[in-house]
Amino acid sequence: MQVLVAGGAGYIGSHAVYQLIRAGHGVIVYDNLSTGQREAVHPEARFVQADIRDQTALETVFAQEAAAGRPVEVAMHFAAKLIVPESLTQPLAYYQNNVEGLRTMLAAMVERGVPNIVFSSTAAVYGEPISPVCLEDSPTLPINPYGETKLACERMIRWVCAAHGMNYAIFRYFNVAGADSSLQIGLNKDQLTHLIPLIMQSALGLRERLEIYGNDYDTPDGTCIRDYIHVSDLAQAHVLGAEYLTQNKGSLLANLGSGHGYSVSEVVAAAERMFSFKWGFAPRRAGDPAKLTADISRARELLGWQPQLSLEQMLRSDYDYRRKISEG
Ligand code: UFG
């Protein structure tokens, strides 16, 4: 199968590319390198540096691949802005990049007859969840422009696929962490905000201490509960999703998490068993729901997918990757 991966030089996109290539599929990485990195592109992938909002460039790639006898069967979309606080201060940039970017990609796919799309969505579409365990049918009421644009994208995909006889796999990610076992790729950016990379920066002495945001939530130990999923498990679901689409099994929308919740204190305790670092409690961070975990039965049933990697493996691989990049 031939797959175009928009955003394939970014964190999650590059992991999907590695898993696709390991599974024997052909890959074109399409990325403008605004946040992605050239070094993260798998050496066996064809690389095109262009913007997702450039319909001509996208159509040219689809046409070239078809002319070479390997038409693109699946387009994967990872090319999005995804920082919640930034989305609150720059909503128009989120609508332009996320919504307009997807619209352009879908237009190019319709024009060139590319029949399947795999799309990165997020648990942020659930907003403040009414129930702490989210099912795909739970209400979607985003509380920030990031989640709002992703929900708009989900809806656009459904309408366009219905109108043009295409199929989709939409995945709603929970808390993604870790790095590929090769340590060639991982989460590499300047402004880190996520819990696990910040713990590891503390363990590597790159940060004075980790702050736990709030210990007065309505949870057993007072800290927030989240569902952490290893990026390689997440990437594997994309391979299975793409194969599902090319086997003409129809469309799907599914949560991707581990199905297991850990509190921030439990993650910190697990990390302390492996590394040494300082931490302390700090006030709550705005916008954090107390508990957010995924029901993953749909992805299990439809894709035969099962997360394989533990919290300890997420922590260890993020540490190893972060140490490698910090040593240059
Ligand atoms: N946390 C700390 N200290 C830190 C960083 C995080 O205590 O230094 C806590 C947060 O308060 C939260 C938990 O660790 O309780 C996880 O926070 P992250 O920032 O790692 O991740 P989020 O749960 O905020 O975000 C994730 C995705 C978003 C998505 C959101 C949906 O990264 O893209 O879930 O709710 F929008």
Long-range pairs, 33-40, Cβ under 8 A, ≥24: 33/9, 35/10, 35/189, 36/7, 36/8, 36/9, 36/10, 37/9, 37/188, 38/9, 40/9, 40/10, 40/14, 40/184, 40/185, 40/188
Reduced to 3 states (helix: H, G, I; strand: E, B; else coil), residue 206 is: coil
177: Cβ contacts below 8 Å, ≥ 6 apart:
187, 194, 195, 196, 197, 228, 229, 230, 231, 314, 315, 318
Long-range pairs, 189-192, Cβ under 8 A, ≥24: 189/11, 189/35, 191/83
Closest ligand 1 atom to Cα of 83: 33
DSSP 219-255: STTSS-EEEEEEHHHHHHHHHHHHHHHHTT---EEEE
CA 114, CA 107: separation in Å to the nearest integer?
A: 10
pLDDT digits (tens, 9 = 90+) for 3-44: 999 999 999 999 999 999 999 999 999 999 999 999 999 999
DSSP 263-313: EHHHHHHHHHTT----EEEEPPPTT--SEEEE--HHHHHHH-------HHH
Reduced to 3 states (helix: H, G, I; strand: E, B; else coil), residue 140 is: coil
pLDDT at 180: 98
Structure letter (DSSP) for residue 99: I
- Which parts of the chain register pLDDT below 50? none
Catalytic member of 18, 30, 146, 173: 146
pLDDT at 190: 82
pLDDT at 282: 98
pLDDT at 128: 84
pLDDT at 280: 98
pLDDT at 303: 98
- Known catalytic residue: 146? yes
pLDDT at 328: 81
Measured from CB, residues less than 6 Å from any atom of ligand 1 are: 82, 84, 122-124, 175, 193-195, 198, 210-213, 224, 226, 264, 285, 288, 292
Torsion of CA 182, 184, 190, 193, to 10 degrees: -30
206: Cβ contacts below 8 Å, ≥ 6 apart:
322, 326
pLDDT digits (tens, 9 = 90+) for 170-185: 999 999 999 999 999 9
Q: Domains, the chain, ranges and CATH?
A: 2-177+229-256 (3.40.50.720), 195-227+259-326 (3.90.25.10)
CA–CA distance from 125 to each of 122, 130, 149, 191, 261 (Å)?
6, 12, 9, 23, 19
Closest ligand 1 atom to Cα of 267: 14
